[in-house]
Structure 1
Amino acid sequence: MTDEMTDAARRARRLAAVAQAARQHGVEMDTATGLRCAPEAVPSTAALADWARGQGLWARGVRLSFRQLARARREAPIVLLLADGGAALAVAADPARGLAWLRDPEAPGEEPVAVDELRLSHAWTGEALLLRRAREAPAEEQPFDLGWVMRLVLGERRMLRDIALASLALSLLAVVPALLTSTILDRVIARHAWSTLELVAALLVITVGIEALLGHARRELLQVLSTRVDAKLNLHVFDRLLALPLGYFERHPAGEVNHQVAQIFKVRAFLTGRLMTTALDAATLLVLLPLLLLLQPLLTGVVVLCAGLIALATAAFLPAMRRAQGRVIQAEMAKHALMVETVHGIRAIKSLALEGTRREAWDARVAAAGHAQLAAGRLGSWPVTVTLPLERFIDRGVLALAAGLVLAGSAEIQVGALVAFTMLSGRLAAPLLGLARLTGDLEEARMAVRHVAEVLNNPTETQAMQGGLRPAIQGEIAFEAVTFTYPGARRPALDGISFRVPAGAMLGLVGRSGSGKSTVTRLLQGIDREYAGAVRIDGTDAKEINLGHLRRNLGIVLQDNILLRGTVRDNILAGRPGLTAEDAARAARLAGAEEFIERLPRGFETLIEEGSANLSGGQRQRLAIARAIAGEPRVLILDEATSALDPESEAVVNANLARLAEGRTMVIVSHRLSSLVGCDLIAVLDQGRLVDIAPHALLLERCEIYRQLWMQQNRHIMQEAGSRTLAAE
Structure 2
Amino acid sequence: MAEQQREREKSSNIRVLSAMLGFIKPYRWQAVLASIALICTAGITLSIGQGLRLLIDQGFAEGADPKALNDALLLFMFMVLLLAAGTFTRFYFVSWIGERVSADLRKAVFNHMITLHPGFFETNVSGEIQSRITTDTSLLQTVIGSSVSIALRNFLMFLGGLVLLFVTNPKLTGMVLLSVPLVVAPILIFGRRVRRLSRDSQDKIASVGSFVGEAIKNIKLLQAFNHQAADRQRFDDYVESAFQVAEGRIRQRAWLSTAVIVLVLGAVSAMMWVGGHDVLAGRISGGELAAFIFYAVMVAASVGAISEVFGDLQRAAGASERLLELLAAKSLVTAPIVPEALPADLGGRLELQQIFFHYPSRPDGWAINGVSLNIAAGSSLALVGSSGAGKSTMIDLLLRFYDVQQGAILFEGVDIRKLAPDDLRSHIAMVPQQPVLFTGSVGDNIRYGKPSASDEEVEAAAKAAYADDFIRTLPKGYDSYVGEGGIRLSGGQRQRIAIARAVLADPRLLLLDEATSALDAESEYQVQKALETLMKGRTTIVIAHRLATVVNVDTIAVLDHGQVVATGSHAELLQRSELYARWASLQFDEGQVGLGSQDLSAPEVQPTENAQ
Instruction: Identify whether the pair has TM-score above 0.5, normalized to the shorter chain.
Output: yes
2:24 is aligned to 153
Q: Shift of the alpha carbon at 1:327?
A: 4.0
Q: Shift of the alpha carbon at 1:323?
A: 4.4
CA deviation string 1:110-133 (max 9, x = no partner): xxxxxxxxxxxxxxxxxxxxxxxx
Q: Structure 1 pair 602/220, CA: closer, same or farther in 2 (3 Å)? A: closer
Work out whether 1:610 is the aligned partner of 2:484.
Answer: yes
For 2:370 and 2:593, locate their aligned partners in 1 and report how far apart those are by CA, in whole Å.
39
- Equivalent of 1:664 in 535, 538, 559: 538
Q: Shift of the alpha carbon at 1:630?
A: 0.4
Q: Structure 1 pair 170/376, CA: closer, same or farther in 2 (3 Å)? A: closer
1:501 is aligned to 375
For 1:465 and 1:335, locate their aligned partners in 2 and report how far apart those are by CA, in whole Å.
39
Mapped contact 1:465–1:548 kept (Cα < 8 A): no
Work out whether 1:480 is the aligned partner of 2:353.
Answer: yes
The correspondence of residues 535-574 of structure 1 with structure 2, limited to 5 A, is 535-574=409-448
1:625 is aligned to 499
1:451 is aligned to 322
Q: Shift of the alpha carbon at 1:156?
A: 2.1
1:333 is aligned to 206
Mapped contact 1:640–1:671 kept (Cα < 8 A): yes
Q: Shift of the alpha carbon at 1:414?
A: 0.4
Q: Structure 1 pair 205/321, CA: closer, same or farther in 2 (3 Å)? A: closer
Amino acid at match of 1:351: A
For 2:15 and 2:382, locate their aligned partners in 1 and report how far apart those are by CA, in whole Å.
44
With 564-573 and 421-430 compared, the bigger mean Cα shift is at 421-430
**RMSD between aligned residues:** 2.5
2:41 is aligned to 170
Mapped contact 1:311–1:437 kept (Cα < 8 A): no
Q: Shift of the alpha carbon at 1:640?
A: 1.9
Q: Shift of the alpha carbon at 1:330?
A: 3.7
Per the alignment, in what secondary structure is the counterpart of residue 419 of structure 1?
A: helix
Q: Shift of the alpha carbon at 1:588?
A: 1.4
Per the alignment, in what secondary structure is the counterpart of residue 483 of structure 1?
A: strand
For 2:127 and 2:515, locate their aligned partners in 1 and report how far apart those are by CA, in whole Å.
28
1:600 is aligned to 474
Mapped contact 1:150–1:271 kept (Cα < 8 A): no
For 2:382 and 2:150, locate their aligned partners in 1 and report how far apart those are by CA, in whole Å.
64
Work out whether 1:381 is the aligned partner of 2:254.
Answer: yes
Structure 2: runs of 5+ lacking an equivalent: 1-13, 596-612
1:364 is aligned to 237
2:56 is aligned to 185
1:312 is aligned to 185
Q: Structure 1 pair 568/321, CA: closer, same or farther in 2 (3 Å)? A: closer
Q: Structure 1 pair 363/452, CA: closer, same or farther in 2 (3 Å)? A: same
For 1:218 and 1:467, locate their aligned partners in 2 and report how far apart those are by CA, in whole Å.
48
1:28 is aligned to none
For 2:176 and 2:21, locate their aligned partners in 1 and report how far apart those are by CA, in whole Å.
31
Per the alignment, in what secondary structure is the counterpart of residue 317 of structure 1?
A: helix
Mapped contact 1:483–1:532 kept (Cα < 8 A): yes
Mapped contact 2:208–2:235 kept (Cα < 8 A): yes
2:8 is aligned to none
Mapped contact 1:315–1:440 kept (Cα < 8 A): no
Q: Shift of the alpha carbon at 1:434?
A: 4.2
Mapped contact 1:508–1:681 kept (Cα < 8 A): yes
Work out whether 1:244 is the aligned partner of 2:116.
Answer: yes
Per the alignment, in what secondary structure is the counterpart of residue 461 of structure 2?
A: helix
For 2:249 and 2:536, locate their aligned partners in 1 and report how far apart those are by CA, in whole Å.
65
Mapped contact 2:355–2:404 kept (Cα < 8 A): no
For 1:240 and 1:621, locate their aligned partners in 2 and report how far apart those are by CA, in whole Å.
30
Q: Shift of the alpha carbon at 1:542?
A: 0.7
For 1:598 and 1:441, locate their aligned partners in 2 and report how far apart those are by CA, in whole Å.
54
For 1:224 and 1:599, locate their aligned partners in 2 and report how far apart those are by CA, in whole Å.
47
The correspondence of residues 82-93 of structure 1 with structure 2, limited to 5 A, is none
Mapped contact 2:512–2:542 kept (Cα < 8 A): yes
Q: Shift of the alpha carbon at 1:362?
A: 1.3
Work out whether 1:464 is the aligned partner of 2:330.
Answer: no
2:566 is aligned to 692
Q: Structure 1 pair 598/176, CA: closer, same or farther in 2 (3 Å)? A: closer
For 1:315 and 1:192, locate their aligned partners in 2 and report how far apart those are by CA, in whole Å.
49
Amino acid at match of 1:201: L
1:266 is aligned to 139
Q: Shift of the alpha carbon at 1:356?
A: 1.6
With 617-626 and 524-533 compared, the bigger mean Cα shift is at 524-533
CA deviation string 1:672-698 (max 9, x = no partner): 111111111111110000112222222
Could you tell me the percent identity over the aligned residues?
A: 29
For 2:224 and 2:440, locate their aligned partners in 1 and report how far apart those are by CA, in whole Å.
26
Per the alignment, in what secondary structure is the counterpart of residue 110 of structure 2?
A: helix
The correspondence of residues 136-151 of structure 1 with structure 2, limited to 5 A, is 145-151=16-22
Q: Structure 1 pair 632/522, CA: closer, same or farther in 2 (3 Å)? A: same
For 1:393 and 1:197, locate their aligned partners in 2 and report how far apart those are by CA, in whole Å.
34
Q: Shift of the alpha carbon at 1:463?
A: 4.6
Per the alignment, in what secondary structure is the counterpart of residue 669 of structure 1?
A: strand
Structure 1: runs of 5+ lacking an equivalent: 1-142, 722-729
Q: Shift of the alpha carbon at 1:218?
A: 1.6
Q: Structure 1 pair 146/177, CA: closer, same or farther in 2 (3 Å)? A: closer
1:343 is aligned to 216
Q: Structure 1 pair 285/633, CA: closer, same or farther in 2 (3 Å)? A: same
Per the alignment, in what secondary structure is the counterpart of residue 475 of structure 1?
A: coil
Work out whether 1:676 is the aligned partner of 2:547.
Answer: no
Per the alignment, in what secondary structure is the counterpart of residue 509 of structure 1?
A: strand
- Equivalent of 1:392 in 232, 246, 265: 265
Q: Shift of the alpha carbon at 1:233?
A: 1.5
Q: Shift of the alpha carbon at 1:352?
A: 2.0
Q: Shift of the alpha carbon at 1:540?
A: 0.4
Q: Structure 1 pair 340/290, CA: closer, same or farther in 2 (3 Å)? A: same
For 1:456 and 1:175, locate their aligned partners in 2 and report how far apart those are by CA, in whole Å.
42
Q: Structure 1 pair 156/218, CA: closer, same or farther in 2 (3 Å)? A: same
Mapped contact 1:572–1:626 kept (Cα < 8 A): yes
Mapped contact 1:307–1:436 kept (Cα < 8 A): no
Per the alignment, in what secondary structure is the counterpart of residue 607 of structure 1?
A: coil
Mapped contact 1:506–1:680 kept (Cα < 8 A): yes
With 491-500 and 391-400 compared, the bigger mean Cα shift is at 391-400
Higher relative contact order (CA 8 A, sep 6+): 2
Q: Shift of the alpha carbon at 1:456?
A: 2.9
For 2:312 and 2:488, locate their aligned partners in 1 and report how far apart those are by CA, in whole Å.
48
For 1:154 and 1:305, locate their aligned partners in 2 and report how far apart those are by CA, in whole Å.
39
For 1:367 and 1:154, locate their aligned partners in 2 and report how far apart those are by CA, in whole Å.
40
More strand by share: 1
Work out whether 1:427 is the aligned partner of 2:301.
Answer: no
For 1:289 and 1:324, locate their aligned partners in 2 and report how far apart those are by CA, in whole Å.
33
CA deviation string 1:72-98 (max 9, x = no partner): xxxxxxxxxxxxxxxxxxxxxxxxxxx
Q: Structure 1 pair 437/370, CA: closer, same or farther in 2 (3 Å)? A: closer
For 1:580 and 1:198, locate their aligned partners in 2 and report how far apart those are by CA, in whole Å.
75
For 2:486 and 2:272, locate their aligned partners in 1 and report how far apart those are by CA, in whole Å.
71
For 1:462 and 1:287, locate their aligned partners in 2 and report how far apart those are by CA, in whole Å.
54
1:254 is aligned to 126
With 478-487 and 354-363 compared, the bigger mean Cα shift is at 354-363
Q: Shift of the alpha carbon at 1:446?
A: 2.6
CA deviation string 1:175-205 (max 9, x = no partner): 4332222223222332321121121122122
More helix by share: 2
Mapped contact 2:352–2:409 kept (Cα < 8 A): yes
Mapped contact 2:53–2:290 kept (Cα < 8 A): yes
1:77 is aligned to none
- What TM-score, normalized to structure 1? 0.75
Q: Shift of the alpha carbon at 1:636?
A: 0.8
For 2:28 and 2:177, locate their aligned partners in 1 and report how far apart those are by CA, in whole Å.
31
1:62 is aligned to none
Q: Shift of the alpha carbon at 1:287?
A: 4.0
2:72 is aligned to 200
Mapped contact 2:58–2:69 kept (Cα < 8 A): no
Q: Shift of the alpha carbon at 1:437?
A: 5.5
Work out whether 1:702 is the aligned partner of 2:580.
Answer: no
For 1:452 and 1:348, locate their aligned partners in 2 and report how far apart those are by CA, in whole Å.
33
Mapped contact 1:240–1:460 kept (Cα < 8 A): no
Q: Structure 1 pair 667/720, CA: closer, same or farther in 2 (3 Å)? A: closer
